[in-house]
Amino acid sequence: EIVLTQSPGTLSVSPGERATLSCRASQSINSNYFAWYQQRPGQAPRLLIYTASSRVPGIPDRFSGSGSGTNFTLSVSRLEPDDYAVYYCHQSWRSPQTFGQGTKVEIK
Amino acid sequence: QLQLQESGPGLVKPSETLSLTCTVSGDSITSSSHYWGWIRQPPLKGLEWIGNIYYTGTTDYSPPLRSRVTISVDTSKNQFSLRLASVTAADTALYFCARQVVGGDYGDWGQGLLVTVSS
């Protein structure tokens, strides 16, 4: 099983600042099978980034994904109130599919 | 516009079988481009992948749950279902159904259904 480890567990960021979230995999992942999701309280997860760096239509360009192999990053610039949420990484390269444990972005 | 809606009992007794259905509207469940999956989230915890199914009936399950889980598809009703046997309190969670691009991401999710296991 590919274990995805997200860091940090909680990230405190001021509005307007930048958040950088990390996801490390226990083995190499084909980037085409890597995604990021946002989950706001009381809501279902929402796909933000697919194939590691492709932004879903309608997602602001403040969100960007990068990385390959075992190291992936989600960056959120100019944080807005709606951005404070929990973010999950996900791999579907190898079965079983796995999610990271999540990074909570909170207001500093 | 695609919609997925989970339905089923919100309360299940320990040792019984949890049964949920996801009704798909706005797309055919026989789409060759998609899998249909179940993901759950225990209270205050992260996402756990349960498994998915292709319209042909091919399934893939999470190893820790494999002995207890069955995912099936009903193409005539455009639905797919989850059965989880011998539940315990550890199975209490918010259960989501979702559509997955073949070999990719979960782009569309249901709103989720809270299932509590308790006597």
Where do the H-state alpha helices sit in chain B? none
Alpha carbons A22 and A6: distance in angstroms, whole number: 6
Alpha carbons B106 and B98: distance in angstroms, whole number: 6
The CA radius of gyration of chain B, in Å to the nearest whole number, is 13
* Residues A102, B46: C-beta atoms closer than 8 Å: yes
Torsions phi, psi of A83, nearest 5?
A: -80, -15
Instruction: Identify the closest residue of chain B to A57 by CA–CA distance.
Output: B107
Q: Which pLDDT value is given to residue B103?
A: 76
Render pLDDT for A34-65 as a digit per residue (tens, 0 to 9).
999 999 999 999 999 999 999 999 999 999 99
Render pLDDT for A58-107 as a digit per residue (tens, 0 to 9).
999 999 999 999 999 999 999 999 999 999 999 999 999 999 999 999 99
Show residues of chain A in contact with B93, CB under 8 Å.
none
What's the CA dihedral at A106, B108, B81, A86 to 10 degrees?
-10
Render pLDDT for B65-118 as a digit per residue (tens, 0 to 9).
999 999 999 999 999 999 999 999 999 999 999 999 987 899 999 999 999 999
Could you tell me how many helices (H) and strands (E) chain B has, helices first?
0, 11
Using DSSP, state whether B64 is helix, strand or coil.
Answer: helix
CB half-sphere exposure, A83, CA atoms < 13 A: 26
Q: What percent of chain B has pLDDT over 70?
A: 100
Show residues of chain B in contact with A4, CB under 8 Å.
none
- Using CB atoms, pick whichever of A56, A88, A95 lies closest to residue B46: A88
Torsions phi, psi of A10, nearest 5?
A: -135, 135
Q: What percent of chain A has pLDDT over 90?
A: 100
Show residues of chain B in contact with A101, CB under 8 Å.
46
Alpha carbon separation from B9 to A13, A67, B31, B116 (Å, rounded)? 40, 42, 28, 9
CB half-sphere exposure, B60, CA atoms < 13 A: 17
